[in-house]
Amino acid sequence: MRVVNEKNKEGVRITIFDWNNKYLIKFEDGGMEQTFKVSAMDVLEEASLELLLEGEFFEQVKERFNEMHQSLQNAMKNF
C-alpha cells in the first residue's frame, strides 16, 4: 500500500492510498473514519482524486461525520 497524499482540511484528516488497483480515500475525524474505494481504472491521473476533496462530496462527508458522532453520543447515553 502506497500513500499518495495526506492532508488536513477543516479538521478532517484525509489520506489517499494506492492499493491493489484501487485508490482508498480515508477521511478521519476524531475516532470516526470513512473510507471510499475507487477503481484505478476510473481515474485518469492521481491528481484528479483531489476533486473528491472539494465541493458537495466533501460536504457530505462532513455531514456524515456529524451523524456518526450523534449516533455514538445517543448510544452512549443508554450505555
pLDDT of 16-73, one tens digit each? 999 999 999 999 999 999 999 999 998 888 888 888 888 999 999 999 999 999 999 9
Residue 16 CB partners (closer than 8 Å, separation 6+)? 3, 4, 5, 6, 23, 24, 25, 26, 46, 49
What is the domain count for the chain? 1
Cβ 33 vs Cβ 61: under 8 Å? no
Domain that holds residue 16: 2-77
Q: What is the pLDDT of residue 28?
A: 98
Whole-number pLDDT of residue 2: 94
- Residue 78 is predicted with a pLDDT of 76
Buried b (16+ CB within 10 A) or exposed e, 35-60: eeeeeeeeeeeeeebeebbeeeebee
